[in-house]
Amino acid sequence: MASPRFAVFGAGGVGGYFGGVLARAGYWTAVIARGEHLKAIQSHGLQILSPKGDFTVAPAIASDNPQQIGPVDAVILAVKAWQVPEAARAMAPLLKPGSQVLPLENGVEAPAQLEEILGREHTLIGLCRISSFVAGPGQIRHAGLEPTVLLGELNGSTLSPNAQLLADALAAAGVVVETPRDMRAALWEKLIFIAGLSGLGAVARATVGELRQCPPTRALLQQLMEEVAAVGRSRGIQLGADIVSRTLAFVDSIPAGATASMQRDIVDGKPSELEAIIGAVVRFGASSGVPTPAMQYVYASLLPQEQRTRKSVRAA
């Protein structure tokens, strides 16, 4: 059997890390990036700075044009949540019969968006756990959490051959790989964590340690998580009765100085995943008749800056 070919669409903090470790493990791996980040990768390789060990690797191809890469067995999609539909339409040159696309975006809507554009036969459901970001052009810093990928088929069946190839390759590259029976519940479990932490962190402009150590703020964090869980259950998601307490316990295990990616984007004045993470919970709650007062407060507090930022980006 020929060696598998992988592509990472969006080589930022998440995609850059997973693409880097796949390439280091000897797998043919192409990365799609842009701007100065792409130029640096092309000139000097992709540099990973990590508590697990620093390294620099040259991807098989680094490009902003999927046509230069051609068909691959599996694609890791690691763009921002609002970029998923555009990326899905652009990745046609990467696909062949049996190709699988693994979305690792925050939120819960990416799999349905991919399925609508690419079809169920190409769409996986997935998420990752990692704290990582672009530290400079061509440079990814892994700041914390054990790099972990969860993946599965949309219908919950056994992994298809190419999905299994990707899972095996990630595991061989040192990534913790899990294949839960209920990936939709896993997505919502992450949403409970990321919506509460990133929303409150962005409003409070505070680190994880500051959020969890201040009693009134910790109580608000718990309320946010409980609202997300209630919305998920209203949509038929099977969540354990202890999901909020388990999620808070996980928050207590995170390095005190950590911040969420949405929070960092908002603080830096960049377009953020506000709509995909916070806005989605508010919309889902409204459609299901589930009150989300704390989440609505967070959304209303952050929306003016988000609109201002996106308006300035469009005008640039």
Give the CATH number, domain containing residue 245: 1.10.1040.10
Q: What is the pTM of this model?
A: 0.93
Are 35 and 167 within one domain?
Answer: yes
Are 137 and 190 within one domain?
Answer: no
The count of structural domains within the chain is 2
Are 174 and 297 within one domain?
Answer: no
Are 214 and 309 within one domain?
Answer: yes
Are 59 and 126 within one domain?
Answer: yes
Are 168 and 25 within one domain?
Answer: yes
Point out the domain boundary residue: 138, 153, 181. Answer: 181
Point out the domain boundary residue: 147, 164, 181. Answer: 181
Range of the domain at 269: 184-315
The confidence score (pLDDT) of residue 255 equals 87
CA distance 256 to 203: 17
For residues 38-73, b (16+ Cβ closer than 10 Å) or e, as one string? bebbbeebbbbbbeeeeeebebebbbeebeebeebb
Residue 3 burial (10 A CB sphere; 0-12, 13-18, 19+):
exposed
Are 126 and 268 within one domain?
Answer: no
User: Tens-of-pLDDT digits for all 316 residues of the chain?
Assistant: 568 999 999 999 999 999 999 999 999 999 999 999 999 999 999 999 999 999 999 999 999 999 999 999 999 999 999 999 999 999 999 999 999 999 999 999 999 999 999 999 999 999 999 989 999 999 999 987 899 999 999 988 899 999 999 999 999 999 999 999 999 999 999 999 999 999 999 999 999 999 999 999 999 999 999 999 999 999 999 999 999 999 999 999 988 998 888 999 999 999 999 999 999 999 999 999 999 999 999 999 999 999 999 988 777 6
Are 155 and 277 within one domain?
Answer: no
Are 172 and 97 within one domain?
Answer: yes
Point out the domain boundary residue: 155, 181, 207. Answer: 181
The confidence score (pLDDT) of residue 145 equals 83
Q: Tens digit of pLDDT for each residue in 266-310?
A: 999 999 999 999 999 999 999 999 999 999 999 999 999 999 999
Are 149 and 229 within one domain?
Answer: no
